[in-house]
């Protein structure tokens, strides 16, 4: 099936679409099954292309041993390599599954990327090839295919493909794709997964993998560890104290020895410096009230601050809502008055619910709703539902409010969300901040840690997820000059700010 189209490619760097295939569990097959696998894979891919009359002479095919890689020139629209190609490929694989023995079944991981490549006598070269290989070999793609027992393939799309092809409405349905984070070798980038046969990748029951040093996030993401319990944190603070104090004392003792000519004349120096050593230990062990991290290129700062969200007068604010954008705090039945949403109504709108609802109605007017509940089903609150990730932008420049729907309000008035929902909602939030914020500072709470909690993650892990999403997105497109994660003073013991600071350092 290997073909090289003469006269099609031209010279110089070329913009191409790369479609790479890898067979699941190929290493457990004997030689005869491997030969059968390779032949079947070539025929499956060729048949899927034939069904859409794609000219194979325009496609460069490379053998990857247990997979294939197609390099397709720009003359072929990348959208057709998603739709109808992915659907054709799934159909051909279903037919193969019915005819083949279990030991010869093909389940494929597929990666789609596009970018510039160079071509020489040895073949193709360029960063786009490396990126495609990282996507194809990513653990998150492997886990999605392993968990999707009904599916014959799982597809991972680069951000370039999703943002330039899928999001504008070409190829796959954007709502059938879920954002993930790929952390392979030196690659640390968001991507999107589509699993044919599943309405959304978040419905694939993906198992967690061991927690890495830098947590990753995906529709069922790698869950970062929460901080230890309070007694454990006390022990850890005590350990920090003694480590710093002993280190300072040792340093002073060595200096005294060198300067004073030995312990006979220099013993008084460590004794006099003992208060300073203890002070150094206390300073190192005492929980900080704020930590900060700055990226020089692109230029942005991340701060985690213990304080009041609504006192951040120099920043635009993010507030989490449910998909019905309920605002009533009457009797704390729908929204608790002490929640961030309740405080928004009380402190920014003076308790004037009608004015807040009017602003919300104007902001949500252009956005299609997903459903309208019946009053018999939802006895209290609003009935119109909007897509998760909807961001209602209120206020004027410099004082904007970004109200993001990250949970579903049940008809029992219990909001529910998931890690996958939150990750996608954060992506939509950054889009809105980029569009409306003009790079002004943005302050937000740790959404998902309140009453509409995400039970899979604790507060510390949720903060890590938010920070990781922001840093990863900012390295693609600068969103704002500063993101300020606000930790309410009453919740300060639930967070380890130093650990959050170290996590950002290592991303």
Residue 295: strand, helix, or coil: strand
What does each C-alpha distance from 351 to 247, 330, 343 come to in angstroms? 54, 11, 9
What is the third-level CATH fold of 14-203?
Alpha-Beta Plaits (3.30.70)
Q: First vs last Cα of the chain: how many Å apart?
A: 41
Beta strands at 187-194 and 178-184: parallel, antiparallel or unpaired: antiparallel
- % pLDDT > 90, the chain: 26
pLDDT at site 109? 94
Nearest 5°: the CA angle 31, 37, 38 is: 95
C-alpha span between 182 and 191 (Å, rounded): 7
pLDDT, position 41: 92
pLDDT attached to residue 458: 74
Q: Helices 31-50 and 85-99 sit at what angle, rounded to 10 degrees? A: 140
Whether 265 has a pLDDT exceeding 80, the answer reads: no
Residue 488 pLDDT > 60: yes
Task: Identify which has the larger pLDDT, 291 or 266.
Answer: 291
pLDDT of 218 over the 50 cut: no
The pLDDT of residue 81: 92
**Per-residue pLDDT tens for 227-262?**
444 444 444 445 554 555 555 555 555 555 555 555
Tokens of 24: 């699941």
The pLDDT value given to residue 82: 93
Residues in the chain: 507
pLDDT of residue 14: 86
Give me the pLDDT at residue 307, please.
87
Q: What is the predicted pLDDT for the residue at 258?
A: 54
The overall average pLDDT reported for the chain is 79
Percent of the chain with pLDDT over 70: 76
Q: What's the average model confidence in pLDDT over 138-167?
A: 90
Q: Is the per-residue pLDDT at 271 higher than 70?
A: no
β-sheet bridge partners, residue 385: 371
What are the sequence ranges of the domains in the chain? 14-203, 230-285, 290-505
Evaluate if residue 318 carries a pLDDT over 60.
yes
Judge whether residue 418 has pLDDT over 70. yes
H helical segments located in 117-216: 127-136, 139-147, 159-161
Cβ–Cβ under 8 Å, residues 295 and 262: no
Averaged pLDDT for residues 316-333: 89
**Is residue 125 a contact partner of residue 117, using CB atoms and an 8 Å limit?**
yes
CB atoms within 10 A of CB 419: 23
Instruction: Pick 221 or 142 by higher pLDDT.
Output: 142
Q: Which pLDDT score is estimated for 442?
A: 93
Residue 423: burial class (beta carbons within 10 Å; 0-12, 13-18, 19+): buried
Q: What is the CA radius of gyration of the chain?
A: 27
pLDDT tens digits, 41-79: 999 999 999 988 886 666 888 888 888 999 998 888 899
Residue 374 confidence (pLDDT) above 60: yes
CA dist 7 and 10 (Å) reads: 6
pLDDT at residue 199 above 80?
Answer: no
Q: CATH number of the domain at 290-505, please?
A: 3.40.220.10
Residue 111, pLDDT > 70, answer: yes
Least confident of 92-96, 311-315, 460-464: 460-464
* Residues ≥6 apart with Cβ < 8 Å to 55: none
Exposure b/e, 233-242, CB count within 10 A at least 16 = b: eeebbeebbe
378-411 tens-digit pLDDT: 888 899 999 989 999 998 888 899 999 988 888 8
């Amino acid at each position: 099936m290997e073909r090289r189209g003469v006269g099609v490619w031209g010279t110089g760097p070329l913009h191409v679409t790369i479609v790479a295939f890898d067979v699941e569990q190929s290493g457990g097959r004997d030689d005869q099954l491997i030969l059968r696998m390779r032949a079947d894979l070539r025929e499956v891919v060729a048949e899927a292309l034939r069904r859409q009359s794609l000219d194979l002479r325009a496609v460069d095919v490379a053998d990857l041993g247990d997979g294939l890689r197609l390099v397709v020139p720009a003359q072929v629209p990348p959208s057709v390599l998603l739709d109808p190609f992915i659907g054709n490929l799934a159909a051909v694989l279903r037919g193969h599954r019915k005819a083949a023995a279990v030991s010869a079944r093909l389940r494929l991981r597929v990666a789609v990327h596009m970018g510039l490549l160079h071509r020489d006598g040895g073949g193709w070269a360029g960063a786009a090839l490396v990126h495609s290989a990282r996507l194809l070999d990513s653990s998150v793609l492997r886990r999605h295919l392993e968990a999707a027992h009904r599916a014959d393939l799982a597809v991972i799309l680069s951000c370039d493909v999703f943002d330039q092809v899928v999001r504008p409405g070409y190829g796959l349905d954007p709502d059938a794709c879920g954002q993930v984070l790929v952390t392979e070798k030196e690659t640390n980038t968001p991507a999107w997964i589509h699993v044919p046969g599943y309405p959304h990748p978040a419905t694939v029951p993906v198992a967690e993998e061991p927690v890495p040093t830098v947590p990753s996030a995906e529709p069922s993401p790698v869950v970062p560890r929460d901080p230890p319990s309070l007694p454990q944190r006390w022990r850890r603070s005590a350990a920090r104290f003694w480590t710093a104090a002993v280190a300072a004392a040792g340093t002073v003792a060595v200096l005294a020895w060198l300067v004073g000519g030995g312990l006979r004349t220099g013993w008084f120096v460590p004794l006099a410096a003992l208060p300073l050593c203890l002070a150094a230990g206390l300073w190192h062990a005492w929980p900080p009230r704020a930590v900060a991290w700055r990226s020089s290129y692109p230029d942005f700062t991340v701060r985690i601050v213990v304080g009041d969200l609504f006192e951040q007068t120099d920043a635009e604010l993010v507030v989490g809502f449910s998909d019905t954008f309920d605002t009533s705090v009457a009797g704390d039945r729908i929204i608790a008055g002490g929640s961030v949403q309740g405080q928004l109504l009380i402190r920014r709108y003076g308790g004037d619910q009608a004015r807040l609802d009017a602003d919300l109605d104007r902001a949500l007017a252009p956005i299609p709703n997903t459903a309208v509940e019946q009053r018999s089903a939802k006895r209290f609150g609003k009935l119109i539902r909007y897509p998760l990730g909807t961001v209602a932008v209120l206020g004027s420049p410099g004082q904007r409010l970004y109200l993001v729907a990250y949970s579903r309000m049940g008809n029992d008035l219990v909001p529910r969300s998931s890690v996958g929902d939150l990750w996608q909602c954060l992506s939509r939030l950054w889009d809105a901040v980029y569009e409306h914020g003009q790079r002004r500072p943005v302050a937000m709470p740790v959404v998902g840690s309140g009453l509409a909690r995400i039970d899979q993650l604790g507060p510390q892990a949720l903060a890590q997820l938010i920070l990781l999403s922001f840093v990863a997105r900012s390295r693609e497109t600068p969103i704002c000059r500063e993101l300020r994660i606000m930790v309410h003073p009453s919740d300060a013991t639930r967070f380890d700010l130093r650990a959050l600071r170290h996590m950002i350092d290592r991303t």
